[in-house]
Structure 1
Amino acid sequence: MTTTATKPDAGRARAAIAAKTLRTDRWWFPPLVTFVGLGAWVLYATVRVFMHKWYYVEDYNYLTPFYSPCITDRCVPEAAHFGTPLPALWLIPEAALSLPFLLLFRLTCYYYRKAYYRAFWLSPPACAVPDGHQKYTGETRFPLIFQNIHRYAFYAAGIIALINTWDAIIAFRSPSGFGFGLGNVILVANVVMLWAYTLSCHSCRHIAGGRLKHFSKHPVRYRFWTFVSKLNTKHMQLAWITLGTLALADFYVMALAAGWFSDLRFVG
């Protein structure tokens, strides 16, 4: 009598599930909100950048961050703190020196990568939801390989934040001397938020404390690293807040320059 041994099942086939995802919540809502929010901001910023007007309030030295530094021949002399080396062509924005670097800093930001990967590229649109593309090669090929230059974009963003800080400081000069109005509050608040967003960057945190083997031997860098680490936990919120403060500062300066209403002055 012979017996046939039954081999154990080495691996059963996966269950055939027709549905693309078993998620029953509104997983599509967050990427939709991100798509609408980022899309609206990009549309507004693009229109404002190429309007070529209503960017400076001479009475109070208010300069919108969308036009800083102002370096084309269209710039009024008082707003051109770094000269006007570029011609006044329609396709050249007044802030041609800063806008490309700021755009690069935002595009390569770790939070914004997650935001537009999900909302615009659907790669993937949400956790446990299939990718919208057949394959994904990562950030090793063109154009996503440029994501790796985020650290260098951070350095440029820091310099531009210094320029915006200078703009906010000189805005306290009025025709009668020192002046202080609602526009100053908005410009300063925008600069503070921009610094918070810039310093909360993951690259900044790595620069502050990366590759240190003994924090005790570098107390200054350790304190700065702990400060940046606390900001880093709010990086996503700061990314959205700064979009709001940038749009608010630009709209307020535009409204004053266009004569829609007057600045609320407290001093001067």
Structure 2
Amino acid sequence: MTAPPPVPREPVLERARLGARTLRRDRWWVPPLFTALGLAAFVGYATFRVFQQDHYWVADYHYLTPFYSPCLSAACAPGSAVFGTLPFEFPWFLPYALVSLPFLLLFRFTCYYYRKAYYRAIWQAPPACAVREPHRRYTGESRLPLIGQNLHRYFFYAAVLISLLNTYDALVSFAHGHNGGFGVGLGNLILLGNVILLWCYTLSCHSCRHVVGGRLRSFRRHPLRYRAWTWVSHLNARHMAFAWITLGTLVLTDLYVALVASGTLTDVRLFN
């Protein structure tokens, strides 16, 4: 009798061992530094605005900043709550958009591009090629808490619903001109441009590409899904760009609404 084949052992996952801190002489630290500064700037601004709980609604033109949509607290400004409010006011540590913001945060936090960005820039795993990282072990995303990154596909569905809500907020504002009819102002264009770019970021997600064209054995039998998959794939190639652009447009949109709501700026009206 022949002996049974040996049972293969699981490979030991280890990082490449570097004797020096880095083998590079270029300014490898510049991209991680700017990535960390960019993410920190957005998180700082968004945190301040979310908990400021003021200057988020322009009643005259129905401008609602995305950071407060949907507004659910009983303290929300009259007219800003599309679906009504809960029968109590939120304490200061709860955002008015309590339903949407956690899902949007988790959608971006588990995004494939953002993982790469903050793994390198903040967690330093690794900060750059041929640069030694401070971690001795490597477990990938197979253990807590990083195993939760696999929930990204489900946060994508929530992000789609919230994008639909933001689309409604942008479109309904066109019906609130000076006399209650159709009107176009600079705020309308900013809200509309922001929501278009948000759709580009959401639909360029890797999970969206899988939903549209994944699990198919043959594209030939599904020509419509193949066309949709091709279109989403083109967007997917620009996912990193949309990830950064939408951070900027979210800040710009919120800042414009805040300045108009506080009376610092007067909305520029293009029609009515």
- What CA distance in whole angstroms lies between the structure 2 residues aligned with 1:57 and 1:77? 10
SS at match of 2:144: coil
In 2, the alpha carbon distance for the partners of 1:193 and 1:17 equals: 42
Q: Take 2:100 and 2:129, find their aligned partners in 1: how far apart are those partners? A: 35
Change (3 A) 1:123 1:227: same
Preserved contact between residue 108 and residue 150 of structure 1 (Cα < 8 Å): yes
- The 5-angstrom pairing of residues 118-133 of structure 1 reads 118-133=120-135
Give the whole-Å Cα distance in 2 for the aligned partners of 1:87 and 1:145.
35
In the alignment, the residues of structure 2 paired with residue 72 and residue 155 of structure 1 have an alpha-carbon distance, to the nearest angstrom, of 24
Q: After TM superposition, what 4+ stretches of structure 1 lie above 6 angstroms from structure 2?
A: none
What is the 5 A alignment of 1:192-203?
A: 192-203=196-207
- Letter of the 2:108 counterpart: R
Residues 206-217 of structure 1 aligned to structure 2 (within 5 Å): 206-217=210-221
Aligned twin of 1:165: 167
Count of equivalent residues: 253
Matched AA of 1:159: L
Given residue 140 of structure 2, which amino acid in structure 1 is its aligned partner? G
CA distance in structure 2 between the aligned counterparts of 1:243 and 1:93, rounded to whole angstroms: 19
Q: Is the 8 A contact 2:20 2:132 kept in 1?
A: no
Question: Which 10-residue stretch deviates more, 244-253 or 136-145?
Answer: 136-145
Q: Bigger radius of gyration, 1 or 2? A: 1
Q: How does 1:1-268 map to 2 (within 5 A)?
A: 18-85=19-86, 87-172=89-174, 173-176=176-179, 177-268=181-272
Aligned to 2:270, the other structure's residue is in SS state strand
Q: Aligned partners of 2:19, 2:160: CA distance in 1, in Å?
A: 50
Spell out, residue by residue over 1:48-70, the C-alpha distance to the aligned partner (whole angstroms, 9 max, x if none).
Answer: 00000000000000000000000
Gaps of at least 5 residues in structure 2 are 1-16
For each residue in 1:206-233, what CA deviation from the matched residue of structure 2 results, as whole angstroms up to 9, or x when unmatched? 1111111111111111111000000000
| 3-state SS of 1:216 partner | coil
Shift in Å at residue 259 of structure 1? 0.5
Give the structure-1-normalised TM-score: 0.92
Contact 2:73 2:90 in 1 (8 A): yes
Q: Write the distance in 1 (CA, Å) between the matches of 2:268 and 2:49.
A: 23
- Separation (CA, whole Å) in 2 of partners of 1:95 and 1:17: 47
The percentage of aligned residue pairs carrying the same residue is 61
Letter of the 2:213 counterpart: G
Deviates more, 1:120-129 or 1:231-240: 120-129
CA distance in 2, matches of 1:266, 1:76: 26
